[in-house]
Structure formats: structure tokens, C-alpha cells
Chain A
Amino acid sequence: MARLPADIVVTLSDLMAAEKSTSVTPDWRPHPHRADHLSCLASLWIDGAIRFGLRLDLHGPRLVRPGRPFYGLTAMMFAASGTETLHLGRLEFDPIGPEHLHRNIRNSAGAPPTITGPHFHPFTENAALGIAALTPSGDLPLAFPFDRAFTTFHDVQDEIRARFTIPGLWLEEPPCSTTLI
């Protein structure tokens, strides 16, 4: 992490709080590394510029289970500088696996010890643990359950807009959420 500025967390906090936008409606494409998944990538602009490589990255399986339209759907925000990538937030709308269990091991922010359903990994509480928590190996260890249910893709989109401060975000509904197996 030597190449990152010393005040990186403060800078990232400012970026997280700032209103962001996309220049186009991002489209769903085959996932570059997982044949059975789709992904959607958008660079995020703040006041006419992209800084720290800020980007929104969504992915989900091509096929979902009946009654679970957002099965595996995940929205993530990243920053990048040189070879360093930082995780700024992750929203897991319906984690894959019937026994998916997230454990909040380093819990200093009042999060429940374990979570089994939809949950999110926020920036602020994880950044408070130190910059290592934001690295790929740190992987945002703290998570909290959502305080709402997601019935339609509009609900999902609203949550992404609010959590990542992208009020004008518009996404096409992922093909996976309309395909039942």
C-alpha cells in the first residue's frame, strides 16, 4: 500500500459522500471470468471527472431460482490507483447458497455476530478498521443486514443509488432476474 497517499481514507470518504453519476446507461455483458454470470460496469463521475478510478461493478448469475429474482446479485464499488484496488462497499441482495453465513469477526461497530440473508458491507464502518480492511484480502469484513426487502429491481436500484450516492443511476434489469430455472 506504499504508493497510496497517507490521507487516502479521508479522500475516499469524501468520494463516497459526493454525488456521483454515470456518463451512459451501463449495459449487462457476459462476465469476463465466469461463464455462468453476467456483469455490468460503470465508471463514476464526480463534478465532471473520474478520480481514483471510482467504478460501480454489478454481477449475478445468468440463471436464477424461482421466486428469487436477485439470487447472487451483488453490487460493488471500487477505487483503483496504480496496481492497488480498494473495495469501498458491497451490497449482496440475495447471497448464493442456502446456508450462506457471514460472520462479523472484528466487530467494533455493533453489527450482529452472524448474518444469513441479504446484507451490505458499508464503507464507513470498514474503513474505521484501517485501510487493510478495504484491500482485496481485507474484503470489507464488517456487514449489516438490510432493513428492507427487495421485491422489484426498482427496490434494488434505489438501494444502490442511496448506499453509493448515485442518485441518477439507471440500470437495465439484469436478464438473470427475469429468467427462472
Chain B
Amino acid sequence: MLHDADMTKDAQLRTVLDGVAKDLVRVNVDGGFGIVALPQLYPGGDSVTVRVRKDDDQFFVDDMGLGYRSAEMLGGPTVFGRLAPRVAKLHGVSFDGVMMFGAQVSRDWLPNVILFVATASRRCVEMTAERMSEDVEHSLKVELQRRIEVIYPGRVARDVEIAGRSSRSRQFAVSVDLEGRRSLFDLVTPHHVSINSAIVKFQDVSQLENAPTRVAVLSSRARTDAADVSLLAQWTNSIIGADAETEVIARAA
């Protein structure tokens, strides 16, 4: 009797999990094309979906250009196009300039190729978003360096490395030498990696003998969490915005 009860429990669980599997992966067939929506999301929140076409006894799988379109929505189709061939190769699929795809796929390999095409498409959009964020950060940093050079001509060094109390080298966007004392500026974005990195480096140099003046420059005042700003403030002399007026930058140095 116990054996029968266990089997009933197993059968019930199997029914539940079969239902869950159907919820996770949605399938539709229309006009000779199969559409598979996978439990993956593009950075914009759209579901990653691939199309499957049967040619004789082989299959053709593509992402319908949805990755490219998601990158377009982010404003980065060129970046996507540049990254896509490498990402496709990494996932064992191909890229034709718009779509990620896998051709001449056997039935045995079909599940793998569906997953590879979907993952390559999603990953490429994610990398596009990351690269675009880095581009913005780089532009802001270069602009900050340029502005400080205008305020203190001949006294500014870009991308300097300073050894902190820990003896580890810490990189700062700008160093300004002002009659025997030094001011360090660094750009900080709202991303937690940037916040953590900035806190560590400012803390490390703040504990040096004759610690330099430390200025954190927020890429976005509105988007940086107040708790993060509060932590950052403990190890800096001042925090300013990347859009600060020239007098504010000069005062901070």
C-alpha cells in the first residue's frame, strides 16, 4: 500500500512539473513556423523567442532579429552588430547581420540549438548595454579631465595611479597638484561595482600620511542611492556632480 501511495505522489508531482515546464517554455505553430518563447529576458524585459522552420528532415532556427531590435531600442544597433559575430561564434551559432541563427540542425540537436541561438541573442544584447554604459562613463571621464585641465592648466595628470595605505595601486581619473598638496578626482556611476570600487580606493588613500584631497564625481546625482552617497561621503572631502559648475569643481580641489 505504501508503494502505491508513493507512486501516486510521484504521478501528482510529475503532473505539476509537466504543467510548470509548459508554463516556462511557450510554443506556438503558425504558417509553417514554430515559435518558442524561452524563460529568458532581454535587458528591456522582452521574452527571448526563437523561430523554428522544418526543411525536409532538418531544421533552421533563428531569433527573428529580436536581439538586434532590442539593441535598437537601447540605441546601440551598431555596437550589437560589432559584437554579434564573436558572440555567435562563442555559442556555436551564426550571425547574418541582423539575426542569430543555426542552420541544418538535426532533430537530435534541435533543443541545444534553440538554447544556443536564444542565449547568444540575449547575451549579445546584454553586452551591448554594458558596452554602451562603459562608453557613456568614458565620455564623462574624458569631459571631467578636460574641464579640470582648463581650470588648472599644467597641473593636471590624467588616469594616475596612487599607492594607498594598503600599498595597492589605486587609479583615479584626475590628479591636481596645488602647491604642495594634491587633489584626486574620480568618476562614480550609480552601479554598485563603481560605488564599491570608489569607496575602497578613497578609503585606502584617505589613510595615507598627508592624505590627498578626495573628490567623488557622481555621473548621476539623481540616480545614485542616498545610502551609497552617504558611505562614499565618509571617505571623501567632497562629492560633486559631473554637471557641476566650474566654480564648484575649483572649490572641491
A-side residues, CB < 8 A to B, are 23-24, 26, 41-43, 45, 47-55, 80-83
Contacts and interface: CB of A to CB of B under 8 A. Distances in A.
B248 A52 contact: no
Nearest to B220: A23
A38 to B, nearest CB: 14
B244 A48 contact: yes
A21 B222 CA distance: 13
Interface stretch (B3-11, B155-163, B179-187, B228-236): B228-236
B251 A49 contact: yes
A80 B240 contact: no
Given A41-B226, A48-B240, 16 more contacts: A23-B222, A23-B241, A41-B230, A42-B226, A43-B239, A47-B248, A48-B245, A49-B252, A50-B233, A50-B240, A51-B238, A53-B230, A55-B230, A80-B230, A80-B233, A82-B235
Contacts, number: 54
B235 to A, nearest CB: 7
Contacts of B240: 48-50
Contacts of B229: 43, 50, 55
A82 B245 contact: no
Contacts of A54: 233
B49 interface: no
Top 5 nearest A-B pairs (CB, nearest first) are: A53-B233, A48-B248, A50-B239, A23-B221, A43-B229
Nearest to A23: B221
A53 B237 CA distance: 8
B189 to A, nearest CB: 15
